[in-house]
Amino acid sequence: MTFMSARNRRAVLVTLVWAGCAIAACAEPVLGPCKLRVVLHFAENRVLTPIFQDRVERELRRDLLLAHGDLAEIEVVRRHPRLRELAGKGLQALDIWDELADERDHFVFIDHVDGRYEVHARAHDGATGLCTPVVRRGQTVDRRQVSRLAGQLVERDLGLAGQVMKVGKDEIVIALQGKHDAELARRVQKGDVFAVVRLHRKGTQLHAVRLPWAVLQAIEAPRGGRCRCRLFHRFEQERLTPGPGIEGYRCLQLATVTAPVRLRLIDDKTAQPLDGLQVYVSQRGFGGKGREMTSNAEGLADTKESFARLAFVRVQSGGSIIAQFPVPLVDERILSCRLRASAQTSALEALDFRKELWVQRIYDNLLAGSDRVKEVDRLVGKSLEAALAKAREGAKNLRDQVDSLELERTQLLRQASEMRIGAAQLDLREGEQRLEELRGRGPRIDEFIGRLQDAIKTAGSEETKQLRRLLERARLKEGQTEIDEAITLYEEVVAQDPGQVKVRAHLENLKKAWAPRNPEHVQAREFILKVWPLTEVAKLKADLAEAEKALEICRKNADTLTPRKLPAANLIHAANLRKRLDTLKRRDTEDSRAEARVLAAVAQDLMRFHRALATSSSTTATKKQ
């Protein structure tokens, strides 16, 4: 407890130093060179012959290199680690991709339907973790024009990524990703719009989170690889200022158009349309005069006339402003905007937005911790010293992240208190529970580090080290509820050293506890270990009921090992649900709203299941003590 307090004091000091800074700046750009990887996928169709596919690939590569070779390193391929996933789910599945990478992947799907060649394209930008807002579609009956059409669709979304270098009072300076100033000046013009992401740590890796209502608009064309911009945003937490756990900001140029502003205003809690709200849309800032409308019974407000690139929306009720936000115009679709229907509740909405970012960071770190265990397991099999170094790195990272998340929680509560918002209105239970789980990993990591240090210190020969590596791997497998693998490793340990009396006794107890009781128990275990962890979001509602039944069967048969697999799977499902719900909130269809309502209920049921599981586990542990 003393250690954590010291950490918190240090985190508070860092925050005070940040708060005293007038700007947030980086000495040098951290983005690498622009790398474009175009991934071609041809449907299984006899018209799309191998010769045709080779020609399209060759011509597309040639055209892109001629047109954009000065801007980026370009390659055209037909393989990608996640291409099968996209081929099965469609390019809309890119909505949940948020990984950072060195390349921008631009996927081009080609098919032949009813005598026409259909081309669909969409990109995922590795520098920001963002996907392009829309799926580009085109078609032609001319076989010779397919590669040209594909190139045109790719070019429409060749926006540049940027790193935020300086945050001033009135302007933001970004460093653009690209090779030559002349090409940058051609690609970025005054008035261009950029989406913004916030960087933080997911374990030891950088991770990006979209700030959905924040945009940058270029004040002028870039000079020397830098571009001056102005920031427009909706919530205070989108101001691009430093804070706990924030590693910086990046942005991605959007392909904007001139189009009407079409909004659907939806109640954030009930998902019902909000009618009778005054909506003001301007081309020149939130205070500018512009089109005045009133939302109808369906929550719709449509300007009819067009705006260029970026519009500014102000929503009022009874003369009070309840929301104002920028709208980058990327097509003519209806933009779904969730908000609270009064000025009083809109203040809580901003606090909820900050809370959601906090909870998402906790999930990211929990998932990263699970990945780190797999890496340590791999290293233990090779070198105790390498595994120790990795474990120490993970322990430090965990402490730093917990400190940062604790500080963010304190600031959330302080802000709620200043706004006179009670605990019932600002529900932190999900985040607090997950944060407690994250914090609870610390002692286990410290114990593991202690064992490794002892093994390295006492192992007098390579044979002894090999034995200790086997033993530590067995313990890791057991901790991850991979019991069959753990038993195999424990058996290897006692086979190599029959004098391991404690290990032998533990092995026998483990085998006894793991032995199946009856066919019903075998089926329940099979579901928990192999089906539940792989359940997709669409099947969660049905499979959650099965998971609850399987848990009861395990309890009835005094099986305390199998249920240990549930928390890790629940964590993944909760994170996937949050991503899916976030995607659905940005879509304006009755189907998406209906799905969002169902998944919100599933999320609540999953949380109750997880809490009940945690309570049961702690009760069992107390009884054993």
Query: Which tokens go with 464?
Result: 């002894």
- 6, pLDDT greater than 80: no
What does the alpha-carbon distance between residue 47 and residue 111 come to, in Å, rounded to a whole number? Answer: 9
Residue 20: per-residue pLDDT: 35
Asked if residues 250 and 177 have their Cβ atoms less than 8 Å apart, the reply is no
Q: Backbone dihedral region of 392: left (phi > 0), alpha (psi from -120 to 50 degrees) or beta? A: alpha
Task: Kindly report, residue by residue over 226-276, the tens digit of the pLDDT.
Answer: 999 999 999 888 889 888 788 999 999 999 999 999 999 988 877 788 999
Angle (nearest 5°) at CA 548 between 543 and 549: 95
Residue 179: per-residue pLDDT: 67
Residue 254: per-residue pLDDT: 97
Residue 345: per-residue pLDDT: 67
What does the alpha-carbon distance between residue 255 and residue 440 come to, in Å, rounded to a whole number? Answer: 45
DSSP bridge pairs for 136: 121
- 622, pLDDT greater than 50: no
What does the alpha-carbon distance between residue 327 and residue 282 come to, in Å, rounded to a whole number? Answer: 10
Report the candidate in 408, 398, 399 with the shortest Cα–Cα distance to residue 428: 408
Report the candidate in 340, 356, 329 with the shortest Cα–Cα distance to residue 238: 356
What does the alpha-carbon distance between residue 572 and residue 610 come to, in Å, rounded to a whole number? Answer: 12
Burial of 148 (0-12, 13-18, 19+ CB in 10 A): middle
b vs e for 168-193, b when ≥16 Cβ sit within 10 Å of the residue's Cβ? eeeebbbbbbbeeeebbeebbeeebb
Is residue 545 within a helix (H) or strand (E), and if so which, with residue range? helix 540-556
Residue 343: per-residue pLDDT: 60
Asked if residues 139 and 119 have their Cβ atoms less than 8 Å apart, the reply is yes
What does the alpha-carbon distance between residue 578 and residue 473 come to, in Å, rounded to a whole number? Answer: 33
**3-state DSSP call for residue 20?**
coil
What does the alpha-carbon distance between residue 385 and residue 376 come to, in Å, rounded to a whole number? Answer: 11
Report the candidate in 572, 373, 574, 616 with the shortest Cα–Cα distance to residue 480: 373
Q: What is the DSSP string of 161-197?
A: EEEEEEE-SS-EEEEEP-S-HHHHHHH--TT-EEEEE
Q: How many C-beta atoms surround the C-beta of residue 272 within 10 A?
A: 11
Find all residues with CB under 8 Å of 356, minimum gap 6, and list them.
none
Task: Kindly report, residue by residue over 475-523, the tens digit of the pLDDT.
Answer: 999 999 999 999 999 999 999 999 999 999 999 999 999 999 999 999 9
Check the CA dihedral 16-22-28-33 and report its sign. Answer: positive
What does the alpha-carbon distance between residue 475 and residue 485 come to, in Å, rounded to a whole number? Answer: 10
- 397, pLDDT greater than 60: yes
Q: What is the DSSP string of 64-101?
A: HHHHHTTT-EEEEES--TTHHHHHHH-GGGGGG-----
Strand 258-267 versus strand 335-339 pairing type: parallel
Asked if residues 176 and 184 have their Cβ atoms less than 8 Å apart, the reply is yes
What does the alpha-carbon distance between residue 232 and residue 170 come to, in Å, rounded to a whole number? Answer: 11
Average pLDDT, integer, range 67-81: 89
Q: How many C-beta atoms surround the C-beta of residue 594 within 10 A?
A: 12
- 291-294 sheet: strands from edge to edge: 291-294, 278-282, 310-317, 320-328
**Which residue, chain included where needed, has tokens 């050293």?**
497
Query: Which tokens go with 299?
Result: 């929550």
Average pLDDT, integer, range 582-600: 82
Residue 169: per-residue pLDDT: 84
Strand 246-253 versus strand 161-167 pairing type: antiparallel
Find all residues with CB under 8 Å of 286, minimum gap 6, and list them.
312, 314, 324
Residue 617: per-residue pLDDT: 56
What does the alpha-carbon distance between residue 120 and residue 102 come to, in Å, rounded to a whole number? Answer: 23
Average pLDDT, the chain: 87
b vs e for 518-541, b when ≥16 Cβ sit within 10 Å of the residue's Cβ? eeebeebbebbbeebeebebeebe
Task: Kindly report, residue by residue over 416-455, the tens digit of the pLDDT.
Answer: 888 787 767 788 988 998 999 999 999 999 999 999 999 8
Check the CA dihedral 612-615-618-619 and report its sign. Answer: negative
Half-sphere exposure of 541 (CA within 13 A, CB side): 9
What does the alpha-carbon distance between residue 552 and residue 150 come to, in Å, rounded to a whole number? Answer: 54
Task: Kindly report, residue by residue over 532-578, the tens digit of the pLDDT.
Answer: 999 999 899 999 999 999 999 999 999 999 999 999 999 999 988 98
Task: Kindly report, residue by residue over 315-326, the tens digit of the pLDDT.
Answer: 998 888 889 999
**Which residue, chain included where needed, has tokens 């996933």?**
85
- 403, pLDDT greater than 50: yes
The one-letter code for the residue type at 379 is L
Residue 13: per-residue pLDDT: 38
Q: How many C-beta atoms surround the C-beta of residue 608 within 10 A?
A: 12
Burial of 389 (0-12, 13-18, 19+ CB in 10 A): middle
Angle (nearest 5°) at CA 502 between 498 and 503: 65
Decide which of 11 and 547 is more confident. Answer: 547
Give the end-to-end CA distance of the chain in Å, rounded to a whole number. 22
Q: Where are the beta strands (DSSP E) in 343-497?
A: none
What does the alpha-carbon distance between residue 18 and residue 242 come to, in Å, rounded to a whole number? Answer: 6
Asked if residues 182 and 230 have their Cβ atoms less than 8 Å apart, the reply is no
**3-state DSSP call for residue 243?**
coil
**3-state DSSP call for residue 227?**
strand
Q: List phi, psi (to 5°) of 36.
A: -110, 120
Asked if residues 117 and 110 have their Cβ atoms less than 8 Å apart, the reply is yes
